[in-house]
Structure 1
Amino acid sequence: MRQNTFPVKGLAILIGGISLILLVMFLIPSDSQQAKKTIQQFYKHEQQWDFISAWNLFHPKMQDRFSKPSYLQNRSHIFMDHFGVDSFSFSLDNPKKVTDWTMTTDGEVFEVVYKVTVTKEYKGTYGNFSIIQDVYATKEENNWVVLWDYND
């Protein structure tokens, strides 16, 4: 007499399929996670005074605002000379999806960006202080890039 093993095989296939779906969900980061990771990497570069690598993470519209040499010179000048600091710590809030956002009042409309509030904490010659800034990330030609807000 032959026993029906279909329910056992079917259950094993179902469990395997669910496990595979869950594994893929955890291994492939969501857009919001990728956006936050890009912003985090940007500020890690700046924290290490690697302003060129940070600049490379800018959206082309941001790169149009600052040439590489001027960004390198100005960022280091502001931190070292004006703030009197040699490092900073930072924290990131959770990303928030924003649709139809513009970097400038009359600028290009980005269908989807992720807004992350960044808090940078400095301990410098002139005391301890924080800068809080909303920073945006979007996907451009399969790469995640950073944008700053210049709206009035």
Structure 2
Amino acid sequence: MRRRRNNHAMYFVVGVGLVFLLMYLFSTFIMGAERKAKSVVADYYHYESAQDYSRSWELLHTEMKTKFGRGAFASDRVHVFNGHFGAETFSYEVSKANKLKNWKMEKDGESFGTAYEFEVRQDYHGKYGHFAFVQFVYVVEEDGEWRILWDYKK
């Protein structure tokens, strides 16, 4: 007599493998963009909190870099945050991403197909006490890299 092979175990293993493959593809291609965008924001504020303004400037989108040259940007940041606020460093929290379609940095500016909006809360302790600063940050892809923009619409 010939015995029939039980293929249920093989179907189960293949099914579980397909589920894991689909989860991997989803997290890499769909959720991966959001994760990468948030990582850029975290890197930016890490550099800012360490007063490494030259490196934080590198993470800005070209549109932002045209508003601020590297030297002027670093000088302004030191002047405002360290000089006026009297804060040597700060801690920060980055919100979950809010995906936006056709977002614009300026009212009549370029439209970005996909942008991720983050709310960043910065906590400072300086000579004037403890205070918090909230900034909305937008991240778009530029030449294969995720870059930071701010909202200048009025």
Tell me the TM-score normalised to structure 2 length.
0.90
1:98-109 equivalent positions in 2, closer than 5 A:
98-109=100-111
| CA-CA distance at 1:31 after TM superposition | 1.9
Instruction: Give the gaps of 5 or more residues in structure 1.
Output: none
Residue aligned with 1:87, SS: strand
Amino acid at match of 2:121: T
1:33-77 residue CA offsets vs partner (Å, 9 max, x unmatched): 221111111000101111111000000000110001111111112
Instruction: Give the gaps of 5 or more residues in structure 2.
Output: none
Is it true that 1:134 corresponds to 2:136 in the alignment? yes
Residue aligned with 1:107, SS: coil
1:17-96 equivalent positions in 2, closer than 5 A:
17-26=18-27, 29-96=31-98
The separation in 2 between residues aligned to 1:59 and 1:26, in whole angstroms, is: 25
Rate the CA distance shift 1:92–1:20 in 2: closer, same or farther, 3 A.
same
The separation in 2 between residues aligned to 1:113 and 1:37, in whole angstroms, is: 14
1:105-137 residue CA offsets vs partner (Å, 9 max, x unmatched): 211111111110111111111121111111100
The separation in 2 between residues aligned to 1:27 and 1:61, in whole angstroms, is: 28
The separation in 2 between residues aligned to 1:86 and 1:99, in whole angstroms, is: 37
The separation in 2 between residues aligned to 1:20 and 1:102, in whole angstroms, is: 36
Amino acid at match of 1:105: K
Amino acid at match of 2:12: L
The equivalent residue for 1:12 is 13
Supply the RMSD in Å over aligned alpha carbons.
1.7
Residue aligned with 1:70, SS: helix
Tell me the TM-score normalised to structure 1 length.
0.91
Residue aligned with 2:118, SS: strand
| CA-CA distance at 1:78 after TM superposition | 1.3
Rate the CA distance shift 1:112–1:24 in 2: closer, same or farther, 3 A.
closer
Is 27-36 or 41-50 further displaced after alignment? 27-36
Between the two proteins, the alignment pairs up a number of residues equal to 152
